[in-house]
Amino acid sequence: MADEQDSTTEPMDAKAAKRAAKKGMFKRAVEQVSGLTTTTVKEGEGFVQHLYDDYETYRKVQEQGNKAKLAAQFVKKGHIFFLAEWMQTQRAGGAKITFGLCHGVRRGKEQAWFRKKLKGADIIGTDISETATQFENTVQWDFHDDNPDWQAKADFVYSNSWDHAYDPGKAFRAWAMCLKPSGWILIDHTRGHMPKSSNVLDPFGATRDAVIRILGESCGDLGQVVQVLDRTGDEEYPSTVIVFQRA
């Protein structure tokens, strides 16, 4: 009996250690980039935005922060599998998902998991850092920017990294422009995305209602938020998912 107790407590201890290590990695990453610049803090209805002096500073901070937490993984595989299954159930007539984008993926786990679940689909991940090219199916790209090669071609765009946006409205519109008719933007919202969590590395923090409002303001002519998926009961990755659908 004692052996059985030891075997059950050990994984829990290991999980706790991993969580602590990840939390420490994120904290150290913020500390490392804080010396690179100071930001002006803008507060609005339901959001806090850290403003940089110029774009080059923003890019430098994001690349340095990426490298500092390159080994960390925020979203979990089970959550990505859930989203893949949800999308499959929503497709009329069982139509297959053929192309998708994941923004701010760091080391490319998100698109790898989507690819595993959405067999045969071409899922590309992006990251602003030069480290992107180290990982399979990942390209170096600033997710604020339009890419003509992607426009109106994606079945979905996914991100849990929108809190790294210097201009969330600009980013959301670029994502919406990539969608096919009836395609989705899937935006995770967790406690770590709230206004109080914003900092020099994660410059945009917002409530879920604020994110929905900004989506409407920036992309309302292209589509609308149609649903919020409630994943708050998931122990591994409690979250909600804002679903914007292209008209």
> pTM of the entire structure?
0.89
Residue 79 structure tokens: 């959550």
Sign of CA dihedral 112, 114, 120, 125: negative
The DSSP-derived string for 158-195 is EES-GGG-SSHHHHHHHHHHTEEEEEEEEEEE-GGGSG
Q: Give the residue extent of every domain in the chain.
A: 2-246
d(CA 235, CA 218): 33
Q: Which CATH class is domain 2-246?
A: alpha beta
Residues 205 and 53: beta-carbon distance below 8 Å: no
d(CA 195, CA 48): 5
Classify 122 as helix, strand or coil: strand
Question: Which pLDDT score is estimated for 86?
Answer: 98
Question: Which pLDDT score is estimated for 36?
Answer: 80
Please list the pLDDT of the chain residue by residue as tens digits (247 residues).
333 333 334 465 655 445 545 556 677 788 877 778 889 999 999 999 999 999 999 999 999 999 999 988 999 999 999 999 999 999 878 789 999 999 999 999 999 999 999 999 999 999 999 999 999 999 999 999 999 999 999 999 999 999 999 999 999 999 999 999 999 999 999 999 999 999 999 999 999 999 999 999 999 999 999 999 999 999 999 999 999 999 9
